[in-house]
Amino acid sequence: MDKYEKIIKLKEEKLLTREEEVNSWKMSEEEVDRLWKTRRKRKDRGDGENDRKQEAESQDGKREAEGRTRMFQKEEDRKKGDADEGKTRHVLHKSPIEAKTTVEKTEDNCIYIDYILDTTLSFTRIFPEVYYVLENSMNLLKSKRREYKGIVLHYGLTVLGDQIQEDRFEKGAFTESEEEFLKHLRELNFQGGSDSGAEPVNEAILASLQKLGKNSPSSANRGIILITDSMPEDVRPDFRHVEGCRDKGLRFAVGFLYSNRYAPKFDLGNRYGEPEENDRNESGTFLEIRRLLSADGEKLLGKVILDIMRKVSVY
């Protein structure tokens, strides 16, 4: 159990005085009250959604049964078609070109997401709420994963502070485990920060793009999610020609900052590396941090990734 979970447990069991609670969170009394108010809103909303979730799960079960029936029927049709000896031999002995195509198709369904997270001292005020949003957005993705069979999510973490650091997981720069990713979040150290409030956001994004290029297959789907309470000095940087990035660039770029004045340029494209036909092709989506801390913050964050999962799904 990490320190945030311990504070919450002690609070709910009424084992903390008001002064001990405020000191534990390292926040002002107003900030602590706002944090608990937000949690109560989310809990009330979650209780109201349980009945709808159960009904939805029942419908999901029916759809899965129908899907299995169709799958068995397709398998029977395939076996009949494979009766021809030549066709059977062709299936069993694929050419090198066909084998390579199969590998590429698997890579096409990989999604690499690099989270760029602020670890300056000022960010400690809102980190408990940010962690809560990230945890719930990942739970949402886990619950939806069965709807998008074949999709593999990889999570990375780039730390934005006095120095830009790439977090390393057990198997490298990315992990497929939501639990391992959240564990690394709980172990982050917060320190430093500029007096002006301007942080090296652009440098962190550049490092993230290069990390994605070096640690993901050529046809994988890539994206960045930036979370900070600061702003960079240059609010209109250009990331369209970054050395070390794969030629397909990014599928999505999302950020939450102190202000929505941040308007970077990216080379966003579809799964084939072609430009998306919409206004987000160059700018991505960058909003004020308060949007992420709202009652629907986790849904807002989860929707970004669910949209990509829907687009790259094999079904």
Which pLDDT tens digit goes with each residue over 154-190?
999 999 988 899 999 999 999 999 999 999 999 999 9
Instruction: Point out which residues pair with 169 in neighbouring strands.
Output: 172
3-state secondary structure 24-40: HHCCCHHHHHHHHHHHH
Neighbour order of strands in the sheet with 252-257: 164-166, 152-160, 110-118, 221-227, 252-257, 285-288
Instruction: Provide the mean pLDDT of the chain.
Output: 77
- Residue ranges of the domains in the chain? 1-93, 109-312
CB 176 within 8 A of CB 151: no
Concatenate the DSSP letters of all residues of 282-314 into one string.
HH-EEEEHHHHTSTTHHHHHHHHHHHHHHHH--
pTM value is 0.67
Question: Strand, coil or helix: what is 239?
Answer: coil
Residue 244 has pLDDT above 70, yes or no: no
Place of tokens 């941040």: 262
pLDDT value at residue 246: 59
- Tell me which CATH code domain 109-312 carries: 3.40.50.410
Q: Which tens digit of pLDDT belongs to each residue from 97-154? A: 444 433 344 566 888 999 999 999 999 999 999 999 999 888 888 877 778 777 889 9
